[in-house]
Amino acid sequence: MRNQLLRSTSCAPAVLGILTCNPVCSGACVPAACNLSSLATLVLRGAVFACISLVVACAPVRVRETPAALAAQQAREAKLAPLVHWTLTAHIGVSNGKDGGSGDLTWKQDGDAFRFTVRAPVTGKTWTLSGDAGHAMLEGVASQPDTGTDAQRLLHDRLGWDVPLAQMRMWVRGLRAADASAQVRYDEHELPAVIEQDGWRVEYRDWFVDRNPAMPRKVFASRADARVRMVIESWTVDD
């Protein structure tokens, strides 16, 4: 970035409207208008470089699993996994590479029973997916409720949303799902930064670190073209 600033300064005489021989800008004596254009280009490049540097500097540190991080995660899971009565509110966005949707989400979990309610931000239209391990009902999309045995499939077939509900029930709390192996990377606080499981990549961009144990604030899950993003506003644990 310092080189960019030095280059911009070296073009400064052109602003005064004189001819100048400037190898940095053009390598020849050129009119002020050309030098002014080069100055603008270089300043823009410097600004872009500064923005990229800032993003890199602010990116979370991700480390592979260490004994200390694994022990901390196992302690979180031992404390959180038994707590099966909870509610979160969040903004959710879902896309599949072509279509998508978003809204304000209230997700209430009571053991295997759940209630997943989404309110559209503009129209205010609300739909609810509810059920348990073997039954699901989708209300508010069609004139009559849709029912099925698989909540994830019902959501996909009726709305085109690819949301792995069974796994998200664990991932949304920063836990590994129990039905498959997982690879975990951690941040500098020994909290999960990335969980890769069942072909999904789940990124944790922010945490409620004031809670004990800490709970996720931003959860971004992806697999191929499927994207599920949650910015969680509140957690309530009833156990």
Beta carbons of 193 and 60 less than 8 angstroms apart: yes
Grade residue 65 by pLDDT with cuts at 50, 70 and 90.
confident
Is residue 194 scored above 60 in pLDDT?
yes
Pick from 62-71, 101-110, 179-188: least confident: 62-71
Q: Among 17-31, 136-150, 174-188, 225-239, which is the least confidently predicted range? A: 17-31
pLDDT score of 238: 92
Q: How much is the pLDDT for 179?
A: 82
**What local confidence, expressed as pLDDT, does residue 239 receive?**
85
pLDDT per residue as tens digits for the range 141-154: 999 999 999 999 99
| Spatial distance between the Cα atoms of 14 and 35, rounded to a whole number of angstroms | 5
For residue 102, what pLDDT is reported? 95
Domains of the chain: 2-58 (no CATH), 63-237 (2.50.20.10)
The percent of residues above 70 in pLDDT, for the chain, comes to: 74
Q: What pLDDT, in 10s, does the model give residues 40-52?
A: 444 444 444 444 3
Tokens found for residue 65: 């699993």
DSSP assignment of 208-235, as one string? ETTSSS-EEEEEEEEETTEEEEEEEEEE
DSSP class of residue 189?
Answer: T
User: How much is the pLDDT for 108?
Assistant: 98
Whether the CB-CB separation of 112 and 132 falls below 8 Å is answered with yes
Average pLDDT, the chain: 82
Average pLDDT over residues 12-19: 36
Q: What letter represents residue 239's amino acid?
A: D
pLDDT digits (tens, 9 = 90+) for 83-131: 999 999 999 999 998 889 999 999 999 999 999 999 998 899 999 999 9
